Amino acid sequence: MESADRIRAIMNELRTSDSVSVAELAALHGVSEMTIRRDLDELAQQGVVRRVRGGALSLLLRGEEPPFGVREREAVDAKQRIGAEVASLLADGEAVLLDGGTTVLEVARAIHDRRLTVLPLALQATQELAGAPRIRLVLPGGEVRHGEMNFVGPLTEASIRSLRFDTAVIGCCGLSAEHGLTAHDLPEVAIKQTALASARRVVVACDSGKFSRTAFGSVCTLDRLDVVVTDEGIPQDQHDALTAAGVTVRIPPA
């Protein structure tokens, strides 16, 4: 098992348990205890765990999202395919809002050589597009959320409200028929809602893992979405609920 896959599996353990054991993880994944210690040290540097003798304790609050650096290593192939698929939906000349998050960051990477006007809501996407020769880059004002590096706050909301977009590409922490689109951070909920109101078309980019999660803040119901781009792991009942709500579901080939 590759390091990224192993760390993702350890993260899954931490979502259901308050602590993990070096010995048990080594036996479970068929690697040395030294390898597991390195994995846990990396997670400790990300602020996910606190190392203790023989293992680690989870520092994530229940329902809290893992740090950006950890999420960026999860479902990488699926996110890259989703990013390319979203890029294929955009026509040259469009005005596009790009939300924050690791999946939408892959959209930014996929549109680097396109002719678009783009307002990114995260510094990571801004950096990806800063040198793009045909991108007209427009930045919002506002406060930058520590760790996530997303723009939030009333200045950001005012910037979005003053503009009109052909497409808003939105990320999420959870998506389901029962609870709609949700996010952990309340200031980001407000930003997403403002983005939805300023866009002619709303495209959600999310890997299928988001369909098993519901975050604290409610952004919108399914009928506010136009397109959801995800991977082949989407549960059939969620796929059916999206289509019943009039949402187009696109799944790029693996």
Assign 206 a pLDDT band (cuts: 50, 70, 90): very high
Q: What is the mean pLDDT of residues 90-113?
A: 97
Taking 90 as the threshold, does the pLDDT of residue 1 lie above it? no
pLDDT, tens digit, for every residue of 189-204?
999 999 999 999 999 9
Separation CA 225–CA 221 (nearest Å): 8
For residue 192, the model assigns a pLDDT of 98
Assign 46 a pLDDT band (cuts: 50, 70, 90): confident
Q: Name the token pair of 171.
A: 């990320």
Separation CA 28–CA 26 (nearest Å): 5
Selected residue with higher pLDDT from 80 and 9: 80
Selected residue with higher pLDDT from 15 and 104: 104
For residue 121, the model assigns a pLDDT of 98
User: How many residues comprise the chain?
Assistant: 254
pTM tops 0.95, yes or no: no
Q: Is the dihedral of CA 193, 148, 210, 21 positive or negative?
A: negative
DSSP letter for 139, please. -
Taking 70 as the threshold, does the pLDDT of residue 222 lie above it? yes
Helix and strand numbers (H, E) in the chain are 10, 15
Q: Name the token pair of 238.
A: 């969620």
Looking at 22-31, 69-78, 79-88, which range is the least confident one? 69-78
For residue 195, the model assigns a pLDDT of 98
Selected residue with higher pLDDT from 57 and 221: 221
Taking 80 as the threshold, does the pLDDT of residue 65 lie above it? no
Taking 60 as the threshold, does the pLDDT of residue 214 lie above it? yes
Phi-psi region of 227 (alpha: psi -120 to 50; beta: other; left: phi over 0): beta
Looking at 9-18, 39-48, 131-140, 152-161, which range is the least confident one? 9-18
Return mean pLDDT, the chain. 92
- Could you tell me which of 193, 205, 176, 240 has the C-alpha nearest to residue 89? 205
For residue 61, the model assigns a pLDDT of 64
Selected residue with higher pLDDT from 6 and 188: 188
For residue 64, the model assigns a pLDDT of 63
For residue 63, the model assigns a pLDDT of 59
Instruction: Report residue 147: phi and psi, to 5°.
Output: 85, -60
